[in-house]
Amino acid sequence: MDLKVGLVCKLTGRIADFEGECESFKLDEVAVAKMDDDIEMEGSEITAQISNETLEKLKSEQSLPAAIFAGMCIGILAAMAWAAITVATNMKIGLVAIAIGAAVGLGMRFFGKGIDPVYGVCGAIIAIISCVLGDALSIIGFIANEAQLNYFETLFRFDYSQIFSIMSEIASPMDLIFYAIAAYEGYKFSFRQFTKKDLYELENEQ
């Protein structure tokens, strides 16, 4: 910073007056090698460090339908697994809800490659729905065991108008906490993430 003229270039001692690329610029390969390749960035952190061309390229690779489809499939499978664990152990393990949120988010990230906020919102919603589905399937499993019925038979014979009233009766404050964490995980992990080195390499592909 020069108090008289403002920001000046360390190489030329002048305010940037070139068009396109500075002739004095030399790539510091050591600095590139030392770029942080561990801490991942997302959202505004990414858009602030890339050109409009790179941003448009990343957006063209997004697929919201693929992300939602993957998230729903993973969410259903995870809900079934949670219900099976709950019925088998006769214990509701809230940490599984957190795992569901992470699994949904990571699946959406892998298949959707999303960077827009809508991906995180969808991830959070699907994660919550998956947790609710897992609770509902657990209830049906317990009823099937109590009545000594086949699980599929119970699925068809169950009065689903009662499901939410049953869930509200057996719900605890901890359930809401685990649901909230699952939603956060579904949101956070749904986004495509990059390190600084990733962004540098993307910029230099143009």
pLDDT at residue 43, as a whole number: 58
Name the residue ranges covered by the structural domains of the chain: 64-188
Taking 90 as the threshold, does the pLDDT of residue 75 lie above it?
yes
Q: How far apart are CA 187 and CA 189, in angstroms?
A: 6
| Three-class SS state of 27 | coil
CB atoms within 10 A of CB 190: 29
Percent of the chain with pLDDT over 70: 86
Question: What are the tens digits of pLDDT across the range 100-114?
Answer: 999 999 999 999 998
Structure pTM?
0.74
Measuring CA to CA, which residue among 143, 141, 124 is closest to residue 184? 124
Neighbours of 132 (CB within 10 A): 17
Segment 64-71 mean pLDDT:
96
Split at pLDDT 50, 70, 90, the class of 141 is: confident
Give φ, ψ of 134 to 5 degrees. -60, -40
Buried b (16+ CB within 10 A) or exposed e, 24-55: eeeeeeeeeeeeeeeeebbeeebeeebeeebe
Distance CA 206, CA 192 (A): 20
Region 157-179 average pLDDT: 81
Helix (H, G, I), strand (E, B) or coil at 194: strand
pLDDT of residue 41 exceeding 70: no
Placement of tokens 């000046």 in the chain? 8
Contact yes or no for 192/58 (Cβ under 8 A): yes
